[in-house]
Amino acid sequence: MNKLVFLIFIYSINSIFCFAQNDSIPLKFDTKYYNAVDKWVAFPKTEKDSTYTLGFIYIDEMAGFTFNFENSFTIKDQILIPSEKDSVSKIAFIKSRLYTDTKNVAIINSKQLKELNLPLFPDWLEIYKSDEDNVEYLKQIGYLYNHAGASANAIEPLLKAYNKQPHFKGLEFELAFAYNATKQFKKAIPVLEKAIANKNNDQLIYKELGYAFMNLQDFEKAESAFTEGIKNAKDDTIKAEMAINMCSVYFNKKDEKKYNKWIKIAKQYINETSQFSQYVTYFESEWQKQKNN
């Protein structure tokens, strides 16, 4: 997608803005950036700052969540007053990528838009919306929401894409991941089972399927899914994660036979530097304590 911009500065959002809350101002800095997509927003200022930072949040399908700086403003008698733009800011697109540690923003309401002389949407936004019905675009938007920890927001674009082309590469995993992340396990299962029926043997498909069954306490089906997943997986970390999941199930159920089976499998893929090694240590220590008692 070609995007026409005159001047782009990419900064970390947290390196530009300092954050503070002032209850006396007509703005509420209580919105996560991923819940302010396609909105005009303001960032709070510190006591040392004389103005607030104003801009528009949108999604660049390649770069992710982005803040486009528009102007600064002050507040007087509960009215938002825009700063006079200099010659550079009139032609520059100053952009900041937004990440999970970005602080909350305030959404500018319709009354405040008029005070700041802003349209509902900036003209340049159309550039980023030209492919919004495209399956690849919708899948990528869902991926970005999932990656930001906003899976509830990911479901709508992913489901729209799924209804168009359900077996598009990577789409079934992203939709199932979003369902699992929002505890809609029963909705994740048919998506994953249809993917497998379509010969999608991706390791992540089996991992999500096992996870869904595990959370529904259908442990036999979870075990079957993880077993197939380990057979198909190429990544030892993924294999270890699936095995540790089953270890935790049978550890909590105090099923020693099943636990021993899965801890043996897990140890095949876990070394001292593995993120899962601490789980093995914990399980074995606690299991021994239970035996001694």
pLDDT digits (tens, 9 = 90+) for 18-66: 444 444 678 999 999 999 999 999 998 888 888 999 999 999 999 999 9
* Helix residue ranges per DSSP H, 122-235: 135-147, 151-164, 171-181, 185-197, 203-215, 219-232
pLDDT digits (tens, 9 = 90+) for 1-18: 444 333 334 344 444 444
Q: How far is CA 167 from each of CA 40, 136, 193, 201, 232, rounded to the nearest angstrom?
A: 35, 11, 12, 12, 19
- Provide the pLDDT for residue 284: 86
Q: Taking the mean position of all CA atoms in its chain, how far away is CA 184?
A: 16
Q: How far is CA 20 from each of CA 68, 103, 187, 191, 203, rounded to the nearest angstrom?
A: 21, 10, 41, 44, 44
Tokens of 16: 């530009």
Q: How far is CA 112 from each of CA 26, 40, 50, 233, 280, rounded to the nearest angstrom?
A: 9, 10, 19, 53, 56
* Packed helices 236-252 and 203-215: angle between N→C axes, nearest 10 degrees: 10
The mean pLDDT value for 134-151 works out to: 97
Task: Using pLDDT thresholds of 50, 70 and 90, give the confidence band for residue 86.
Answer: low
Q: Taking the mean position of all CA atoms in its chain, how far away is CA 155?
A: 11
Tokens of 104: 């909350």
The mean pLDDT value for 58-87 works out to: 90
Other CB atoms within 10 Å distance of the CB of residue 231? 11
DSSP tally for the chain: helices H, then strands E: 11, 7
The mean pLDDT value for 87-107 works out to: 79
- Provide the pLDDT for residue 44: 87
- Provide the pLDDT for residue 35: 98
pLDDT digits (tens, 9 = 90+) for 160-201: 999 999 999 999 999 999 999 999 999 999 999 999 999 999
pLDDT digits (tens, 9 = 90+) for 217-259: 999 999 999 999 999 999 999 999 999 999 999 999 999 999 9
44 vs 262, which has greater pLDDT? 262
Task: Using pLDDT thresholds of 50, 70 and 90, give the confidence band for residue 69.
Answer: very high
Which DSSP helix (H) or strand (E) runs through 74? strand 64-76
Asked if 144 and 65 count as a contact pair (C-beta separation under 8 A), the reply is: yes
Residue 288 pLDDT exceeds 90: no
- Provide the pLDDT for residue 19: 44
- Provide the pLDDT for residue 13: 47
Cα separation, 199 vs 202, whole angstroms: 9
Closest CA to 78 of 26, 136, 37: 26
